[in-house]
Amino acid sequence: MSDIVLKEVSKSFGAVSVLDKVSMHIQSGEFIVFLGPSGCGKSTLLRMIAGLEDVTEGEIHLGGRRVDQLPPNERGVAMVFQNYALYPHMTVRDNMSFGLQNVGTPKPEIIRRVDDAARMLEITQLLERKPAQLSGGQRQRVAIGRAIVRDPKAFLLDEPLSNLDAGLRVRTRLELAQLHNRIRATMIFVTHDQTEAMTLATRIVVMNNRRIEQIGTPMEIYSRPATRFVAGFVGSPAMSFLPVTAVSDVGGKAAFSFAGQTPVTTSVPFAGLPTSSLTFGIRAEAALVDPNGAIEGVADVVERLGERSLIYTRLADGSTLVAEDNGVSTVQAGDPVRIAIDGNAAMVFDDAGKAYHAAA
């Protein structure tokens, strides 16, 4: 009903291209997160949906209507800015009423809508204050409130949590998820923080270098990344990448050899796999310290996180494999360690970065 459809949307500032033929279909009510490193074009894409940036090429449709040539206010979207952009000389109530006043909404209606939104966001007691008298978290709520009163088809949020301190960010993240559950509006959220993306999104759009790397649910993005970039960008600690020296067929499955190590058999099908320039990818939780493990190396750094320990292990070929051990790990930096790899969770990437996974 209020689906957002992007068709080969491109953007360039003069000769500099910042987005290259981006297409996606966002279902009504989804919580979509644009995730990517700084400068990947995610904010620009959001601003193009908002109407704050022109579309150089391509089409944007919102609720079945082409909107890319319409001014921002005619698109039926509301935006929450990174620095909130609350008008400093107006009270919270005036800030929230401003948009409704501009379109000539009757006064009693404005008061009712502002009061409703304030109650939902628990900011009723702040309505007569000025933004300067509010804390960061309160300003954040007011900024969302200003968007809610307009009853938009979609909420566009541009890194809205980045100005909050760590504790507040976690709490606001939770509240945002609850808010989305309650109002069921389409939300597009831009962030470079993978935790925010993983916890909030119904689907994540991972972007890098002007284009979309992958669109998928948080678990798809995490477990079955489409490219090496996605695999490395999402997850903490980052996935370990090991250069593969040879690949062999073990009953239809691929077994990978590494310099100076026992080969590791995985669930990745051998058929269709390139035979050279492969990189093996494994997450720490699938690489456990085990005296009988296939991989051997020397512990470089041991990070104790309480419930688990991360062992940064240097292998014979010079690459680093991050392995996991239990919280009370006895491994010390400098110790030789053996690591067992869970072949079901392993993946490989060809030299173009394309991922090969175990059959789903």
Partner 1 sequence: MSVADSRNPAVDASGTATAQRKLRAFDIGGLILTLITLVFAIIWAFPIYWGVITSLKPESQVISKTVELLPRTWTFDAYWEVFANTMIGRWYVNSLVTSLGVTAITLVTSALTAYALSQLRFPGRTVLWYLILASFMVPLTALIVNHFILMAQLSLINTWMGVILPQLIHPVVIIVYKNFFDSVPKEYREAAKMDSASEWRIFSRIYLPMNWGVTTALAIVTFIGAWNAFLWPFLAVSKPDMMNVAVGITQVNDAFGVHYARDLAAAILAALLVALLYLVFQRRVTQAIMLSAGVKG
Window 106-145: contact mask with partner 1 (x via CB under 8 A) = ----------------------------------------
Give the one residue of 12, 27, 69, 73 binding partner 1; rule: CB under 8 A.
Answer: 73
User: Binding residues for partner 1, how many (CB under 8 A)?
Assistant: 23
Please give the full DSSP string across 84-142, using - where no structure is assigned: ----TTS-HHHHHHHHHHHTT--HHHHHHHHHHHHHHHT-GGGTTS-GGGS-HHHHHHH
CA distance 245 to 250: 16
For residue 209, state whether it binds partner 1 (rule: CB under 8 A): no
Which residue of 9, 46, 55, 78 would you call a contact of partner 1, by CB under 8 A? 78
Rounded distance between C-alpha atoms, residue 241 and residue 218, angstroms: 21
Distance CA 21, CA 119 (A): 42
Both tokens of 40, joined, read 């990947």
- Is 50 among the residues that bind partner 1 (CB under 8 A)? yes
Give residues 138-177 in contact with partner 1 (rule: CB under 8 A): 146, 150
Q: What is the dihedral of CA 49, 52, 57, 58, to 10 degrees?
A: 20
Find the shortest distance in angstroms from Cβ 196 to partner 1: 20
Answer yes or no whether residue 318 interacts with partner 1 by CB under 8 A: no
Applying CB under 8 A, the span of 36-44, 45-53, 193-201, 243-251 interacting with partner 1 comes to: 45-53
Nearer to partner 1, 151 or 249 (CB): 151
Q: Which of 251, 240, 210, 238 is nearest to 317 (CA)?
A: 240
Residue from the set 3, 23, 24, 52 that interacts with partner 1 by CB under 8 A: 52
- Pairing mode, strands 31-35 and 186-191: parallel
Instruction: Find out whether 282 and 242 touch, Cβ atoms under 8 Å.
Output: yes
Q: Single out the segment in contact with partner 1 by CB under 8 A; choices: 86-94, 286-294, 317-325, 336-344.
A: 86-94
The residues that touch partner 1, with contacts defined as CB under 8 A, are: 50-52, 71-73, 77-79, 81-83, 85, 87-90, 98-99, 102-103, 146, 150
